[in-house]
Amino acid sequence: MSSHPQPSAPPPTVVWLRTGAEAFRRMLAAIDQASRSIQLEVYIFQPDATGERFRAALIRAARRGVPVEVLLDAFGSNGLPAGYWRELEELGGTVRLFNPFSWRLFVFRDHRKLLLIDGTVAFVGGFNIGDEYDGDGVTHGWRDLGWELRQPDAVRQLAAAFAGMFHAYDLRHRLLLRIRRPLLRQTPASRHGPVLLGGPRLRRNQFRMSLRRALRSARHVQIISGYFVPNFRMRRALRRVARRGGTVELILAGKSDVPIAQLAGRHLYGALLRAGVKIHEYQPQILHSKLIIVDDAVYVGSANLDVRSFGINYELMVGLEGPQLAAEARELFAADRRQAVEITLPHWRKSQDWLTRLRGLWACFAFTKFDPWLARRQLRARS
């Protein structure tokens, strides 16, 4: 037997972050190990115990001389007190608030969640920074998941996406164009890479277009979405998969922090159930995961299956293919399905009294018609 130590295996290019607790543990460890750069982009950053752990880790990194850049959505993170980032900024860190509050621009939000370490490791998923995400999603904490990525193409595209948003954070001087142009200047190859961006006034919402293409020939579709209010074309695409003999399974929220979104989503169940789509509602905790499996393609990131994610919010998804990755994703789906109850057509019909139907219709109108109309109006007014 050789006395020479065996070289260690390289880390996997994709690691599942199966719970918020696991994600935060690995993210904080990565921040503490960073030596060249840290870039954090998140919709909600709470000034609670979890937020304090991240703030302290970022301050430690800045003291080591690591450049730190933080981009937070001004609305999602509006609970932060004045001076919260003063120590980090005094150490050379840069903190920016995306789309500082204005009624005329209120609708456009940065909903992305991304942590980049040294330009080599990226964390993506649905996790905001707050105590409610720090759990297993069953006994405590919201149900969420994500990926830790070391795939060079994905990390490179994620770094470019962060740079575009970080430098155009204030949405001044011709609304959104300073974000749109850097994204559209990507090389043709990169536009078809694993990172799929979404936002207003992109020529095409990359995630929406990729998902529609995948559904045209899909045989097996499994989706977990904390918020489910897709437009007519996406609902029709799901129904067509089921009607031509494919399988479509959805795990949606049984408990939600946005009751109006849940009301709108449930209003849409009928046509999907009649087409053969199977719907389950997750029971133990609030569902916040975003996972889509279409045959051997897997999508993970910040986008929900709703109109806002498809054309109003800035979103970020990563799509990867492979039978092993898809098998792992299906195992995660099956585990969550065991924590859910199936919604059958008779059950749904029984729940839809006239008042529930009326409220659901109103909620659907608000999400699928009024929100897009307001976004278009603000774009026309400020472009």
Residues belonging to the active site = 111, 113, 118, 288, 290, 295
Work out the number of other CB atoms within 10 angstroms of the CB of residue 83.
8
Find where tokens 């260690």 sit: 8
- In whole angstroms, what is the distance from residue 14 CA to residue 119 CA? 15
- Contact (Cβ atoms closer than 8 angstroms) between residue 143 and residue 332: no
- In whole angstroms, what is the distance from residue 227 CA to residue 107 CA? 17
Nearest to 218 by CA among 253, 249, 251, 252: 249
- Contact (Cβ atoms closer than 8 angstroms) between residue 161 and residue 199: no
What is the bridge-based pairing of β-strands 305-306 and 146-149? unpaired
- What are the angstrom distances between the C-alpha of 257 and each of 143, 185, 253, 284, 352? 12, 37, 9, 14, 21
Instruction: Tell me the Cα Rg of the chain.
Output: 21
- Contact (Cβ atoms closer than 8 angstroms) between residue 21 and residue 134: yes
Nearest to 40 by CA among 49, 48, 51: 51
